[in-house]
Amino acid sequence: MEQTAIKVSKVSKIYKLYDTPAARLKDALGLSRQKNFREHEALNNVDLEIQKGETVGIIGTNGSGKSTLLKIITGVIQQTAGEVEVKGRISALLELGAGFNQEYTGIENVYLQGTMMGFSREEISRKMDAILEFADIGEFVNQPVKTYSSGMFVRLAFAVAINIEPEILIVDEALSVGDVFFQAKCYRKFEEFKELGKTILFVSHDLSSITKYCDRAILLNKGVKVMEGTPKEAVDQFKMALVEQEEQQRRENTSLWNPKETGDKWRNGLSVNPETLEYGDKKAEIIDFAIVDKTGKITNVIEKGELFTVKMKVLFHQDVAEPIFAFTLKNLMGIELTGTNTMLENQTPEPKKKGELQIVSFTQKMVLQGGEYLLSLGCTRYEKEEFKVHHRLYDVCSLGVVSEKNTVGYFDMESVVVLE
């Protein structure tokens, strides 16, 4: 154990899930004679050992137990079974600012957080200049944090956590806080920690950061450690786990957008949004759709840099002279990032008669950054100068992009760098 910083032995975590607050209260008071909860196993018999000076990444699909494991290691929650040994002072970037008092000023909260981490007031005072310089929020440090913007709040919380000179740094997606300039400062600090030989445990959905910074990586899936190895090996396994998760969601999703569907539909191969917003006069109707990867497989997961195709099948219930077919991709905040239509692409479909079908395919290279996006589809037209909507499907399904290299912003300009 001399060179071991963190050792996790056969750790499991089981949560009790209650249907009502009353059921939880009865169980807590021992008033219930029967089991009125369900058990959810967030972690199952996980082993993990990290040596001093190592940078180890943990990856996995949503709900795989990553954050639960970090909270157990940092002592935020207790495991149901197993043992955890930690050697060294920990700084954990988990829920930034969770311990801040909204009525206190920024300075007062720095002292509060530092005290909670085990520092004396004198030690915090010696670090204060470095903390405030890193946070860079100016005179707001003397104002109550309830007046802060969300950006200022996380900057101060991050600055406190990162400047206490820990021996072990534990990070859960926290390097994505603030604007791009602050993120760059955070990554520089992260690299400085590595150069100083600090032990780093790092959870991120940004696979490029995992491959860039980590010595090795561990893949969790549904609370079980699937494998550990080089970052590339773990990332490859993670991509396969993503596909399996999508397939599981498809099997479990029994309330798809169109409950009247029969037969072998393209969309049966996708995880479809059961709350898809649709509208239009239905003179033409989008009756099927697909996202197709470079191998021809229908999937919700596309690799960045690869060709993919958005397809739709449209049935015409009335004659339509010049239909326009379109798709758009939005981020989870609803911002339209990209998209096109047949009119913009100078493609004019033949006039359609009642009862005819039209299959439309849009093929392009995926240049969006790794992340989750939403697909929308449409069939419209112009009648003289009036815009008509025949059928639109908003946020009909998700599109996950897997990337080993993310740049700044929403898409990759695929820059070629030359050093002379």
CA gap 235, 226 in Å, rounded = 12
Quick check: helix, strand or coil at residue 309? strand
With tokens 């949004």, the residue in question is: 273
Contact 407, 298 (CB under 8 A): no
Highest mean pLDDT, choosing among 206-210, 243-247, 254-258: 206-210
User: Which pLDDT belongs to residue 262?
Assistant: 45
235 band by pLDDT with thresholds 50, 70 and 90:
confident
Q: What is the mean pLDDT of residues 187-208?
A: 83
Nearest to 407, CA basis, from 395, 399, 398, 417: 417
Q: What is the mean pLDDT of residues 355-384?
A: 94
CA gap 154, 148 in Å, rounded = 10
Flag whether pLDDT at 16 surpasses 70.
yes
CA gap 334, 394 in Å, rounded = 10
| Residues 174-183: contacts with CB under 8 Å, at least 24 apart | 174/93, 174/94, 174/96, 175/93, 175/204, 175/209, 176/206, 177/96, 177/151, 178/151, 178/154, 179/151, 180/408, 180/409, 182/136, 182/151, 182/155
Most distant CA pair in the chain, distance: 82
Flag whether pLDDT at 247 surpasses 80.
no
User: Which pLDDT belongs to residue 328?
Assistant: 97
CA gap 63, 241 in Å, rounded = 12
**Is domain 4-241 in CATH 3.40.50.300, yes or no?**
yes
Flag whether pLDDT at 19 surpasses 80.
no
Q: What is the mean pLDDT of residues 200-207?
A: 82
CA gap 211, 216 in Å, rounded = 8
Contact 300, 271 (CB under 8 A): yes
24 band by pLDDT with thresholds 50, 70 and 90:
confident
Structural fold of domain 256-402: Coagulation Factor XIII; Chain A, domain 1 (2.70.50)
User: Which pLDDT belongs to residue 248?
Assistant: 63
Give per-residue pLDDT as tens, 33-70. 777 778 888 899 999 999 999 999 998 877 789 989 99
Contact 208, 403 (CB under 8 A): yes
Compute the CA torsion angle 350, 353, 359, 363 (nearest 10 deg). Answer: 30
Flag whether pLDDT at 255 surpasses 60.
no
User: Which pLDDT belongs to residue 339?
Assistant: 96
With tokens 């840099």, the residue in question is: 305
CA atoms within 13 A on the CB side of 302: 28
Domain residue ranges of the chain, discontinuous segments joined by +? 4-241, 256-402
